[in-house]
Structure 1
């Protein structure tokens, strides 16, 4: 073969090789840029939408922040949130659809605890890491390998700080009789069980223990009975809508106990929007607050104020962000989307999120929390424990209109 022809052949061959290499590089870049698809279901409508929508906003904020930092494992994240309409069965079927039909890479947790407990079993069946509020203690005692509460909204821990605080008061200053009403579902049952034990610890007599179904037609008969029994501590283990009804019934009947505990609902902005000054002085628990001394939480609170114009950062916005952030830590730490590797990393390493720095035990739980809140002048303040308190407890509860 002539030298010129040979050189032309070599040149063509080299060009083809370089072209193939370039195509391989471009293909690699395309694969790397393929979004990581993340799916979740939340109650965007229905009775739990007031809180579910804030969880969704927390997830969405996390996704925007991750993408602004260059993505997860170098890939953008693409978030899909389906509306389960506050129906647990629908939360199950939609999560299964996300996993088996849409084939998402990762999943995020649902709300409330009834949906989360059901979805934990789905996640276990499909071997998907599931970070959420959990379905209270019972759901973490089923031996699941892939579920984590980061932090959990644990009914059994919800009033822990309240009992600690009351124990510091002289016995004569504590409430003497408690009336308790509880929503008839697993969430209420979890809070109720811990309340019974807590009352026993601080020596307060439980004189009324009523359950109710939702929707609650009226709270006035329940409140009237508490008045008749002379209860100076009222415990409402329910959600936002029935909690609002209960407070309105208390005011209408001029019932003003020393202390009012509200299970779920008083830590979202809608509480003050609905009740105004009547929503003040209600005490509740929380695993998270915008003025806890944890990295990133102050910046997130400021972002919420700017985006939504709220005076108090919605706690469920923080929860959503924290649950997504914990999943992110697991994926980053494992360096892969392999679910077994992510679960193993979370179970064996300290992680740090806006909810603090913690490890998970064999159940997928961090250490118990005891943060206690009180609505004071329209703001959700931390009143316990003392080392993180933003305001002293207002006790006993002032009269209506004060």
Structure 2
């Protein structure tokens, strides 16, 4: 494990720093995501320290590499709290946040989750907050856009296949998909999970293909997402709609890697540069991020994670400033009781620590040409089909036509 300390300045060394601690995937299969998140945090810390710190104290980030291994997480958070004596805590994704929660609850500490799905449904801990826009029912908001658009097709679909990794995030997403299917009266003709170590998806998808589903909903992690999309093309999978909760389609490297293979795929996003999405400050923040991203070898777009990590720290920073310190209960009460203006929009947190109003985008990839990553900075490449407030286009179906139409 490697500790990385950032953010002290000559002007603010006289005061003890406010330490922000977290585990992050700096190596392993999710390292691309973790390094991008860390850069977003560094940008916030640099800005705050140049402005004099928080309540006159410098900010210091204390970061340990969890190696993309949830088993290391409890020990890291014990060290952050008992040895490093950090003042504020961030947590990581779903798989990494869940094992950290018992330690955090035992210490009665505030925790700001960065991209975890439905964690507090299990713990119901008042000191937990979540910066991703899942809302009070994350399983529903992550899956509703996919199904709301699919059920509006003519003729309406009647069957759905569900497939995902045997891991916390995917299982939560599949729970949401099952609830949507039940709500809409869809017959689930295939419902399987695969081991996280799977690399050959042909047997899985061929077994699913044999059921002839109208809809195919996939809950996957980055490497799985790439393998499943490529395999879908190789076996000529032809449902009416193909996609789901596919982590990885948000990353610049995977967008570039898959290129035109993404056309027609439905997935989710939290921010993309569509004309219907305008949040004050996000473009300036992303310009700072993108200027540093290439030289550091991290996600060159930064839409998925960095802006939300930056926003999480904006929330914590305001709470510290307004309460005048790092008293955990005062911070928790302040965050529960106030609305925050961030670069990803205005946020108010409900009793469960989730956004009061969900804002998950369901998107369909369109008009992808070749593998130039810069094309994804243009509108019309990821068309928002849900929610209606941010909609920038309609669903194109069936999947085979969506691929062809997108390429014309």
- In 1, distance between residues paired with 2:301 and 2:283? 12
Structure 1 contact 267–315 (Cα < 8 Å) conserved: yes
Report whether the alignment pairs 1:53 with 2:42: no
Report whether the alignment pairs 1:369 with 2:359: yes
The one-character-per-residue Cα deviations of 1:11-51 (angstroms, maximum 9, x if unpaired) are: xxxxxxxxxxxxxxxxxx97754322211111111222232
Residue 273 of structure 1 corresponds to: 256
Q: Which has the larger radius of gyration?
A: 1
Residue 303 of structure 1 corresponds to: 288
Higher helix share: 1
Alignment partner of 2:147 out of 163, 166, 188: 163
**What RMSD, in angstroms, separates the aligned Cα atoms of the two structures?**
2.4
Report whether the alignment pairs 1:74 with 2:56: yes
- Unmatched tracts of structure 1, length 5 or more: 1-28
- Unmatched tracts of structure 2, length 5 or more: 1-10, 369-375, 377-381
Alignment partner of 1:354 out of 311, 321, 343: 343
Equivalenced residue count is 371
Report whether the alignment pairs 1:40 with 2:30: no
The answer to which of 320-329 and 337-346 deviates more is 320-329
- In 2, distance between residues paired with 1:125 and 1:108? 16
Q: TM-score, normalised by structure 2?
A: 0.83
Q: What is the CA distance between 1:216 and its match in structure 2?
A: 0.8
Alignment partner of 2:212 out of 230, 234, 241: 230
Q: TM-score, normalised by structure 1?
A: 0.84
- In 2, distance between residues paired with 1:317 and 1:204? 37
Q: How does 1:313-328 map to 2 (within 5 A)?
A: 313-328=302-317
Report whether the alignment pairs 1:93 with 2:69: no
Query: In structure 2, do the counterparts of structure 1 residues 361 and 102 end up closer, same or farther at CA, with 3 Å as the change threshold?
Result: same
Alignment partner of 2:174 out of 192, 204, 207: 192
Structure 2 contact 174–219 (Cα < 8 Å) conserved: yes
Q: What is the CA distance between 1:250 and its match in structure 2?
A: 1.0
Q: What is the CA distance between 1:57 and its match in structure 2?
A: 2.0
Q: How does 1:184-263 map to 2 (within 5 A)?
A: 184-263=166-245
Residue 21 of structure 1 corresponds to: none
Alignment partner of 1:125 out of 84, 89, 106: 106
SS of the residue aligned with 2:260?
helix
